[in-house]
Every structure is written in structure tokens, then in C-alpha cells.
Amino acid sequence: MNKTIILANGKFPSNKKVINILKSADKIICCDGAAKKLIDFGLNPTIIIGDMDSLSSEIKKKYSNIIIKDPDQNTNDLTKAVNWCVKNKINNIVIIGATGNREDHTIANISLAGQYVKSLNLKIITDYGEFIPITKTTEFKSFAGQQISIFTLTPNVKIQSEGLKYPLNNIKLSRWWMGTLNESLTDRFLLKFNNNGIFIVYLNY
């Protein structure tokens, strides 16, 4: 399977696992200013997309053939990159650099994963863990003691769990904190809910 990475303009990864994922990518789509970080690291972007307000004239000139300028201020650069993937039928995506730096960008970028989960297979990887959006009952591979947090974009949907230290017993996660700071008991855990739910699961490495 081809590996397509979207590199957002948050904190550039320092975790070796994440860096290796970045290095092994077939395509790296950079959100505007993230292109400079990637180039400084020694890799070249496949596509640079955004409003181009964060790139030097030198980079714009050198990479002019792969720049897609989108000045729309109603969407952020990560949304523009994801939409480009949808348009070009790229359905398997790993997002890196979506967190760090500004907290408001971090929250917006994580919620974006839930917005596209019905049309794309995507996840967000950070130096500390990964965010995986789900829309149906899902079993996760895990390990005893792994830290787990669960967020939802559908607070009226009830959820149940099996294999977590603090069970979710058919409850609604009506506040963001309610599904956080849980822990896996074994090598797997299960989250059960009806098909109207959108949940984002954080797995700490």
C-alpha cells in the first residue's frame, strides 16, 4: 500500500518511530510552511498546498511546479491538503505535525480527523501517540498499561467498552474529559456503539 503523509505546520517530529514513517512515505504533502521544515530536514515535498503566506520567495521559486495555492480563508491548510487527497482519490493518509505550537490549531486539527473518517482511512501520529477516528464498533490492538483517551464528535451516542481499566458502561461522553485517562488491561480492548457515532481514540505509545 502506498504511504501518503500530510505534514502539517505544527511541531516537526523528533520521535524516531514517527521520523521513520516520514522517511518511508511515497508521497509527502506539505501544508504551506511545513515545506521548509521538511526541506531543512533533508527531504523533498511531493506537493505544497496552502495560501503560501509562510513560504520564502526562494522556496516558492524552487518548488513552483509542485505548489498548489489556495487562498480560501474559510479553511485551514490541513483541510486544504485533505481535500486535495479526496479529490485525487488518495484514501489512506497519515497526518504528522498536526499538534504542538498553537493549542487552537491542535484542537482544530484533531477534530478534522473525525470530519473525514467516513470517506477516508486516516490517523494522526504525534511524538507521543496516535489519534484514530472510528465510526463503528472497533477492537484495538494494545498492551497492558497502555494509556487510552476517547473523545467524541457525537456526545449523544452511548458507548461501551471491554478491556479498559475504567469501563464505559453504555454512557454518553457529554464532556471532553469524560473519556480521558483510561488504560488498557490486556493486549486488546473493544469499543462498542451504534453506527451514528464518531469517536476519536488516542493511543499512547
The predicted-structure confidence for 114-161, as pLDDT tens digits, reads as follows 888 888 999 999 999 999 999 999 999 999 999 999 999 999 999 999
- pTM equals 0.92
- pLDDT of 1 over the 80 cut: no
Q: Does residue 122 share a domain with residue 166? A: no
CATH of the domain at 10: 3.40.50.10240
Q: What is the pLDDT of residue 2?
A: 60
Domain count, the chain: 2
Confidence of residue 195 (pLDDT cuts 50, 70, 90): confident
* Cα 35 to Cα 140: distance, rounded to the nearest angstrom: 33
- Average pLDDT in the chain: 93
β-strand 188-192 against 138-141: which pairing, if any?
A: antiparallel
Specify the 3-state DSSP secondary structure of 195.
coil
E-state strands within the chain? 4-7, 27-31, 47-50, 67-69, 92-96, 121-125, 129-134, 138-141, 147-152, 158-162, 171-172, 182-183, 188-192, 199-204
Domain final residue pick, 79, 110, 127: 127
- pLDDT of 18 over the 80 cut: yes
What is the chain's percent helix, strand, coil content, to nearest 5?
Answer: 25, 30, 40
Give per-residue pLDDT as tens, 162-179. Answer: 999 999 999 999 999 999
Q: Which amino acid is at 79?
A: T
Q: What is the pLDDT of residue 196?
A: 87
Domain enclosing residue 167, as ranges: 135-204
Q: Does residue 144 share a domain with residue 62? A: no
Q: What is the pLDDT of residue 127?
A: 96
Average pLDDT over every residue of 28-37: 94
Confidence of residue 100 (pLDDT cuts 50, 70, 90): confident
